[in-house]
Amino acid sequence: MHEWSLADAVVRSLLGFMASEGLTSIREVEVTWGEILELDTEIFEEAFYELSRGTPLEGAKLVLRKEKAYFKCNSCGAEWDFKTADEILSREFEIMEEPAGVRESPLHFLPDLARTLLRCPKCGSRDFDLIGGKDLRVSKVVA
Amino acid sequence: MRAPDVLQDEALRRLSRAERLLMVASGKGGVGKSLISISLASTLSEMGRKVGLLDLDVHGPSIPQVFRSERLIRATKHGLEPLKIDGLELMSLGYIVRGSPVPLGGEDKMSLLKMMVALTNWSNLDYLVVDLPPGTGDEMLLAIRALKRHPRSGAVLVTLPSMLSLSVVRRALDLLRGEGVRVLGIVENMAYIRCGGDTVRPFGSLDYASLGVNVLGSLPLDPAVEEAIASGKPPHKASREVMEAISAVASRIEVMM
Ligand SMILES: Nc1ncnc2c1ncn2[C@@H]1O[C@H](COP(=O)(O)OP(=O)(O)O)[C@@H](O)[C@H]1O
Ligand SMILES: [Mg+2]
Ligand SMILES: [Zn+2]
């Protein structure tokens, strides 16, 4: 459900960027999103095109690129992927998604909380790194 | 061409939506930043202002200790909704992670701060008060970026009247001034203790003239503050003396901003 706020952030950022670069139109924009954010790409696209309408961004093609995440433990060297992470997430922490009223892990909103929300599946340490798969960024602009 | 930093842009945009942006900082820990940001927010709200309080202390969030709530943070189409308690809008990582540790540093911490601020959906506030952690690290840098682009913004620095505290505050002051942030003044906290009919100044007295800043007010070290927090009462009303001191600070800020 944070697709709309994130799409809004991308659109506003791009509009500021166009203004500062003196661009009157953009042909294509590539947005890279980390898989931890669990974006619903259909909703994100709908929001992006809807929010660009009537702005200098209208007509720009959106290309979404999903980036994989992986975790690496600094204590024991274990590595795991997002699917595993999702399975071992602590159920202790929740955010309430409206309007459906579904309880979600904060990880999908704030991926950098990973060290709070899960532990290494092999040794239980919190000293692991989350590599990639957590950002939302504009990775390419084709004017 | 450098691609825009989407989350930072949005974070700064959301911080600039409030009519006035007020940062409470120090550089030093344990001097009362949280107590004073909470008390100022409550007082400004009682003066009829619409106030939000943002806790940027991700390692030791204090706001949920005072404004307690078991409610879950809600995510809507507009992002994460601040909790509404006692007429204030509140956002703190503590409402999400509760008492658990948040081991983070460097880029990851900055990225967490940006995401949290970029998602928080404040209403149209008269004041957004920002409670900072100790230090002049990522949290302060992000706040400085927001203050610099906000026409009605300012920083309040909290200090004890002790030399060690003041030396840290001086550094923070240097940083803020160098960045062109408006420093409204300092608040001297735990300055004196009333004991029977006597007034004791445990840290002595300092002359702030060399700093070239206003002293917005002085608060006593008052055991009633901890008692109020322990019993779930608003700390700015802990005692008459604390209340009057905070009100005076809030009124000065109102005039200056
Ligand atoms: N004027 C005061 N009188 C009594 N206790 C105080 C006073 N100011 C702060 N405290 C207490 O001191 C402790 C540290 O204050 P806090 O606001 O958490 O500092 P900081 O945010 O700067 O680390 C808290 O327990 C707080 O309730
Ligand atoms: Mg604090
Ligand atoms: Zn491990």
B236 lines ligand 1 (CB under 6 A): no
B59 vs B95: CA distance, rounded Å = 13
Amino acid making up residue A39 = L
Chain A residue with minimal CA distance to B9? Answer: A13
Inform me whether the pLDDT recorded for B2 exceeds 80.
Answer: no
Looking at every residue in chain B, the average pLDDT score rounds to 95
Nearest CA to ligand 1 atom 23: B30
| % of chain A surpassing 90 pLDDT | 96
Q: Tell me which residue of B236, B200, B202, B29 sits closest to B131, measured CA to CA.
A: B29
CB contact under 8 A, B9 and A130: no
Asked whether B105 lines ligand 1 (CB < 6 A), one says: no
Atom of ligand 1 nearest to the CA of B229: 27
User: Which range (B11-15, B119-123, B160-164) has the least confidence?
Assistant: B160-164
**Which ligand has its closest atom nearest to the C-alpha of B94?**
2
Interface of B with A in 83-112 (CB under 8 A): 93, 96-98, 100-104, 108-109, 111-112
Residue found under tokens 């999702």: A86
Q: Is B171 helix (H, G, I), strand (E, B) or coil?
A: helix
Residue type, B92: S
Chain center to CA of B90: 12
User: Do the Cβ atoms of B79 and A21 come within 8 Å?
Assistant: no
Strand B51-55 vs strand B88-91: parallel, antiparallel, or unpaired?
Answer: parallel
Beta bridge partners of B127: B20, B51
B180: left (phi over 0), alpha (psi -120 to 50) or beta: left
Closest alpha carbon to A106 in A86, A136, A126, A84:
A86
| pLDDT-based confidence at residue A4 (cuts at 50, 70, 90) | very high
Q: What is the pLDDT of residues A88-130, one digit of tens each?
A: 998 899 999 999 999 999 999 999 999 999 999 999 999 999 9
Is-contact B86 B42, C-beta < 8 A? yes
**pLDDT reported for residue B106:** 87
pLDDT at A23 over 70: yes
Atom 5 of ligand 1, nearest CA residue: B225
Query: Which ligand is located closest to the Cα atom of residue B29?
Result: 1
pLDDT band, residue B86 (cuts 50/70/90) = very high
Beta strand B79-81 with B74-76 is antiparallel
CA distance B175 to chain A (A): 27
Say if CB B25 and CB B155 are below 8 A apart. yes
**Is it the case that residue B88 has pLDDT exceeding 90?**
yes
The answer, yes or no, to whether any atom of ligand 1 lies below 6 A from the CB of B239, is no
Would you place residue B169 in the very low, low, confident or very high pLDDT band (cuts 50, 70, 90)? very high
Q: Which of B4, B72, B102 sits opposite A13 (nearest CB)?
A: B4
Question: Ligand 1: which atom is nearest the Cα of residue B36?
Answer: 17
Question: How far apart (Å, rounded) are the C-alpha atoms in residues B123 and B81?
Answer: 9
**Distance from the alpha carbon of residue A46 to the mean position of ligand 2, in angstroms:** 41
**Order of strands across the sheet with A95-97?**
A102-104, A95-97, B74-76, B79-81
Q: Phi and psi (nearest 5°) for B229?
A: -60, -45
CA distance linking residue B57 with residue B60, whole number of Å: 6
Please provide residue B230's backbone torsions phi and psi, each rounded to the nearest 5 degrees: -60, -35
pLDDT digits (tens, 9 = 90+) for A55-75: 999 999 999 999 999 999 999
Q: For residue range B14-53, list pLDDT tens digits in order.
A: 999 999 999 999 988 999 999 999 999 999 999 999 999 9
Q: Is the beta carbon of B34 within 6 A of some atom in ligand 1?
A: yes
Q: In B67-162, which residue ranges form alpha helices assigned H by DSSP? A: 94-97, 106-119, 138-148
Checking if the pLDDT of B150 tops 70, the result is yes
Do B210 and B194 touch, CB atoms closer than 8 A? no
Stretch among A47-51, A125-129, B195-199, B246-250 having the lowest mean pLDDT: B195-199
Residue B3 pLDDT exceeds 90 = no
Comparing C-alpha atoms, which of B117, B230, B246, B111 is closest to residue A112?
B111
Mean pLDDT of B92-118: 95
Do A12 and B13 lie within an 8 Å CB cutoff? yes
Residue B55 main-chain phi, psi, to 5 deg: -95, 110
Residue B1 confidence (pLDDT): 65
> pLDDT value at position B27?
85
Is the Cβ–Cβ distance between A30 and A138 less than 8 Å?
yes
**Would you call B60 an interface residue with chain A, using a CB distance cutoff of 8 Å?**
no
In percent, the amount of chain B with pLDDT more than 70 equals: 100
How much is the pLDDT for B42?
Answer: 98
Q: Is the CB of B189 under 6 A from ligand 1?
A: yes
Question: Strands, E, within A36-125: which ranges?
Answer: 61-67, 70-73, 79-81, 95-97, 102-104
Tokens of B120: 């928080």
Q: Tell me: the pLDDT tens digits for A70-91?
A: 999 999 999 999 999 999 998 8
Q: Residue A128 CA: which ligand is closest? A: 3
Q: What pLDDT digit, counting tens, does each position of B181-226 carry?
A: 999 999 999 999 998 889 999 898 888 888 999 999 999 999 999 9
DSSP state of B161: S
Residues of A in contact with B104 (CB under 8 A): 112, 115
Any residues with CB less than 8 A from the CB of A111 and at least 6 apart, and which? A34, A36, A37, A69, A130, A133, A134, B115
